Structure 1
Amino acid sequence: MESETENENHIDEFESGFLGDLIRPEDSGYDDARAVWNGMIDKRPDLVARCQDVADVISAVEFARDRDLLVAVRGGGHNAAGLGTCDDGIVIDLSPINWMDVDPDARRVRVGGGATWRDVDHATQAFGLAVPGGVVSHTGVAGLTLGGGYGHLRRQYGLTCDNLVSVDLITADGRYLAASEDEHSDLFWAVRGGGGTFGIVTAFEFEAHPIGIELATVETWHPIEDATAAFEVWRDFVETAPPEVSGEAIIWGIPEDPHFPEEHHDDPVAIITAVYCGDPEEGENRLRPLREFGSPLLDFSGRTRYLDLQQGFDPFFPAGEHRYYQGSIYLDSLDDETITKIVEREPSRPDPRILYYVWNLGGAIADVPEHATAFSGREHPYLLAIDCKWDDPEADEAVLDWARSFQRDMDVHSPGESYRNFPGLGETDDIEPERSPRRDETADRLVELKDRYDPTNVFSRNHGVRPSESARTDGGAGDE
């Protein structure tokens, strides 16, 4: 066993060739460096390697592999399961690698592996462009893209990973590879929805789309007594809507925020939303039937700046201040029985800040053939997402039990799959082909690629694709 002095010597040697910062538990910035978005994640790594460039990432991977350290890779740190940190081991932190390079004529943007969607949106909107991203702007580009990526533009332009053109990636053995349809295409297939388990992506290249600066939106907040009718009206609308329309139907409590009437704080509400990706005037006409439903308590509909739309949820989900849980389950349909079960769950919420919502899918998402990328779930029409927020650690069990039982109860309305980027706390992290036989081909192919690129499972915390037993025994053949 290596002595403490020998370990420090190795760290000192590592640090001498490292451009970024190496942060140890005794350093003053350690608690900030180890923190992630979910305040209930309290991991204590032995070392945080805050990388400044690709050379730093290579050095960190080689150091971790040679020392047989547990590796966590942090991009935006937004993963609710806390995959961007670990106990003991090393966190390879890409957050300083957040550069942007937009080519407005080619409608392409290259993005550093530590960037967030706020960074991307800021850079692309200067030219009236957008890359389909998430719905909270401090979400990391890396995690969202590698897991698929649902956002406000999803039905018109597809998943985030569908707009990926190429990646630069560091493999488990410290090699730098560029992957695209033309080069290392097997790896490029895997990183589009297969998670971050095949290497560390240091740069993404995306196709950007001309959406302009403003979009037409509907966002009406209704009394909970009208929830069933609101969900039915929303369902009927989105089931015949063109691909330009993406929306959500939400159950929530009115936030304790000065933008909302104090007398209604924490009151349960049903919110129906839609975004039209196209000409705002045409969008307002298209979305009018949704806006005309009922007598809403609040109406935030109208033309909305894309940057404001992307940041609208940010104040309610700040980093590190609350405890979070994000679970999900795909739905086969949104018939009346399913809607009733969803709405009837509201009174049992353990905290009024818990929200859950249904996304309409299809459109460009379903236009991509099932096995064209590693993403699974393209054929499903809806996704039920459960976002829990609370503060009291003593409430953990009650909140988690509520969320997990909700998912179990909805299983009869589901193909039994969840969205990779809403993995709970990791309980749905492993690929489960026995629950979804249609996914056997994708699951088997991911394992084959894991065997090739990471046979010793250096990247073990990134969405749980494990190498086969034979690969772990012989170390894998690599990809020369």
Structure 2
Amino acid sequence: MEVAAAVIAWALSSTCRNLPASNNLWGLCPQQDLTTALHQRLSASAQIFLPGSDGYAQATTRWSVRDAPSFNIVVVPSVENDVVETVKYANSQNIPFLAVNGGHGAITTVGKLQGGIEIWLDHLSSVEISHDGTTAKIGGGTLSKVATDSLWAQGKQTVTGVCECTSVLGPGLGGGHGFLQGRYGLISDQFVSMNIVLANGDFQTIDKDSDLWWAMQGAGHNFGIVTSVTSKIYDVTHPDWAYASFVFTGDKVENLYGAINNHLLKNGTQPVDVINYSFFFNNPLLDPDNPLIMFFILQEGAGAVDPVYAEPFNILGPLTTDAASGTYTDLAAWTGNSIGAPPCQKSGLVNLRFPIDLQTYNVAAQRKVYDLFASATRTTPALNGSLFLFEGYSLQGVKAIPNDQTAFPNRGANLLVSPLLTYAPNTPALDQTAADLGESLRQILYEGSGLKELHTYVNYAFGDETEKNWYGHEQWRRDRLKTLKQKYDPFGRFNFYAPIM
């Protein structure tokens, strides 16, 4: 038997070094042979991590552990061509792969990848400002905080996501909301060109002259791995920011969201220098029985929030108030989205979102979702750490771009809303309870909105939504995306994140 085992091991090792294009032995091959085959293709500084190593654990740990993908090997590219070689190798062996540049994509569709290659873009982190100071080349693995801080040090800024711990490109490929969108538009609206590895391993630099450009601005996860992007950047002309924050008890739901409608949102005409941001949360020290509501007003170019914006909320009788001033780089910390804050930690929790775009707050629906959120987190204490997010960014820069100019489908929306259900993994029953709650909360808001179409921001998506929800209800949009998908990814190599089928 020992001789037979040795012969089998030798045969497998020999086969794995020379695997045919239609390989079915991926799961049987000794990892050292697969590692050797990849190492021969990669640059000297590239790394490969195997299960059990510290590097593997760091690379594969995700923000949400539900429906997480699994990987047999992690490749850490050192240069952009390492991504090319990894994709070509994976294709030659028919091995699935997924690029990861932050690990915060919680959509359940990524869980369909099991036993593949993770391409961890962490080392492709860089910010290079052009000589004329109008653009910057940003590496595919660059986190928002790195981009923001690097640009700020040079008196520059651009649109990134709100959370410092997500990458620039992760949200950017799905459009990408951010604090500066009122001035400049979405993250993807800043793109000037990008280096991209296509499904067949081809490496291209594309811009507005490519037919693929339209799709990369809103549905980009479906078409390639962006190893770097050249983005518009801007002089910092309003360095000062201020906030006023308020904590309200649940009896103020109607008055609070009515006041936001009347004094800030104003049917989508919120001032370009003002942002409102709120969430439901539980804090038994302040209220042991019901969730509280944290509400922020953020104002650009101010040493203090103008009383014309703050006073309508002061008179509602908040439980507590606070205020401070600083710069743009303080916004993430003020709102609880800094790289060291709890929402940025990968703590082994399940994090599920159920987004919906809204035009205005229906105060009756706000009451219904508050009451359901309160009763659900009381009935199921495992969900007590959950939040319900209401993001009201300024919109002028987003709406200035015609809705058909990019694949991002819903520039007319005024509000980004989503429950964030957080809990320690437990049982399938708890998973189902959380999913049912999230869908119920979203449905209440949808029914109260009066809208005929449900739009769900793809970067927050749960995973059971439809392509219409993610990419738009117009038939021409979906037809155009499907045509491009067939051209650039006919075998569905990029079918793991909100796939276009």
Aligning the two structures, in what range does the TM-score lie when normalised by the shorter sequence? 0.7 to 0.9
- Which has the larger displacement, 193-202 or 265-274? 265-274
- The structural deviation recorded for 1:449 is 1.1
CA-to-aligned-CA distance 1:201-223 (integer Å, 9 cap, x gap): 01112222325443122321112
In structure 2, the residue matched to 1:191 is: 216
Match of 1:246 among 259, 275, 282: 275
Give the alignment partner of residue 458 of structure 2, picking from 420, 428, 441: 420
What is the identity, as a one-letter code, of the residue corresponding to 1:383? Answer: L
Q: CA deviation at 1:8?
A: 5.4
* 320, 327, 330: which one aligns with 1:308: 330
Match of 2:485 in 1: 450
Structure 1 residue 302 displacement after superposition: 3.0
Are 2:421 and 1:388 equivalent residues in the alignment? Answer: yes
SS in 1 for 2:154: coil
1:329 corresponds, among 326, 346, 356, to: 356
- Aligned identity (percent) is 20
Aligned partner of 1:225 in structure 2 is: 251
Q: Deviations over 1:399-429 (max 9, x none)?
A: 22211221123232242121111111x212x
Q: 1:276 to 1:128 in 2, by over 3 A?
A: farther
Distance 1:9 1:353, change over 3 A: closer
Contact 1:135 1:151 in 2 (8 A): yes
Q: Distance in 1 between matches of 2:299 and 2:265?
A: 14
Map Cα deviations across residues 178-212 of structure 1 (whole Å, 9 max, x no partner): 1222x42x222111111311110011122223254
Q: AA paired with 1:421? A: N
Unaligned runs of 5+ in 2: 1-23, 378-382
Task: Say which one has the larger Rg.
Answer: 2
**52 and 269 in structure 1: CA distance in 2 versus 1, 3 angstrom threshold:** same
**For residues 204-215 of structure 1, what are the structure 2 equivalents within 5 Å?**
204-209=229-234, 210-215=236-241
Give the aligned partner of residue 97 of structure 2: 71
Maintained 8 Å contact 1:234/1:249: no
Provide the aligned length of Structure 1 versus Structure 2. Answer: 454
Q: Deviations over 1:289-308 (max 9, x none)?
A: 35534232332323233222
| Distance in structure 2 (CA, Å) of the matches to 1:289 and 1:121 | 32
Residue number among 218, 227, 237 corresponding to 2:263 in the alignment? 237
Q: SS of the counterpart of 2:204?
A: strand
Does residue 462 (structure 1) correspond to residue 488 (structure 2)? The answer is no
Question: In the alignment, which residue of structure 1 is the partner of 2:7?
Answer: none
285-294 or 365-374, which moves further after superposition? 285-294
- Return 336-345 or 319-328, whichever deviates more: 336-345
1:178 and 2:205 matched: yes
Question: Do 1:328 and 1:384's aligned partners in 2 also have CA atoms closer than 8 Å?
Answer: yes
Q: Match for 1:431 among 452, 467, 482? A: 467
Q: Is the 8 A contact 1:214 1:303 kept in 2?
A: yes
Deviation readout 1:432-469 (Å, 9 max, x if unpaired): 379964x2222111111111111111111132013xxx
Match of 1:50 among 71, 76, 90: 76
The one-character-per-residue Cα deviations of 1:205-252 (angstroms, maximum 9, x if unpaired) are 222232544312232111222222111111212233322222223222
Report the secondary structure of 1:461's partner residue. Answer: coil
In the other structure, the counterpart of 2:391 is 359
Instruction: State the alpha-carbon separation in 2 of the partners of residues 434 and 6 from structure 1.
Output: 40
Asked whether the 8 Å contact 2:410–2:472 carries over to 1, the reply is: no
Query: Does structure 2 conserve the Cα–Cα contact (< 8 Å) formed by 1:433 and 1:443?
Result: no
Of 101, 105, 113, 2:140 maps to 113
Q: Match for 1:130: what amino acid? A: Q
Which stretch of the first structure deviates more once superposed, 102-111 or 236-245? 102-111
Instruction: Check whether the contact 1:110–1:206 (CA below 8 A) recurs between aligned residues.
Output: yes
2: CA distance between counterparts of 1:84 and 1:122?
A: 30
Letter aligned with residue 360 of structure 1: G
> Which secondary structure state, in structure 2, belongs to the residue aligned with residue 147 of structure 1?
coil
The answer (yes or no) to whether the contact 1:217–1:284 under 8 Å persists in 2 is no
Q: Could you list the runs of 5+ residues in structure 1 that have no partner in the other structure?
A: 257-261, 467-480
Structure 1 stretch displaced more, 74-83 or 455-464 = 74-83
Quick check: 98-107 or 236-245, which moved more? 98-107
Q: Is the 8 A contact 1:157 1:364 kept in 2?
A: yes
Distance 1:113 1:43 in 2: 20
Change (3 A) 1:433 1:121: closer
Q: Partner amino acid for 2:366?
A: I
Per-residue deviation, 1:103: 4.2
Equivalents in 1 of 2:84, 2:94: separation in Å?
15
Q: 1:331 to 1:203 in 2, by over 3 A?
A: same
- Alignment-mate amino acid for residue 392 of structure 2: N
Q: Are the counterparts in 2 of residues 219 and 291 from structure 1 also a CA contact under 8 Å?
A: no
SS for the counterpart of 1:384 is strand
Q: CA deviation at 1:320?
A: 2.2
Q: Which residue of 87, 92, 101 corresponds with 2:114?
A: 87
Aligned with residue 273 of structure 1, among 296, 302, 327: 296
CA distance in 2, matches of 1:2, 1:288: 64
Preserved contact between residue 168 and residue 178 of structure 1 (Cα < 8 Å): yes
Deviation at 1:102, TM superposition (A): 2.7
The equivalent residue for 2:372 is 345
What is the SS of the residue equivalent to 1:272?
strand
Q: Hey, what's the Cα distance between the residues in 1 that align with 2:288 and 2:264?
A: 29
- Give the TM-score taking structure 2 as reference length: 0.83
Structure 1 CA distance for aligned equivalents of residues 29 and 255 of structure 2: 68
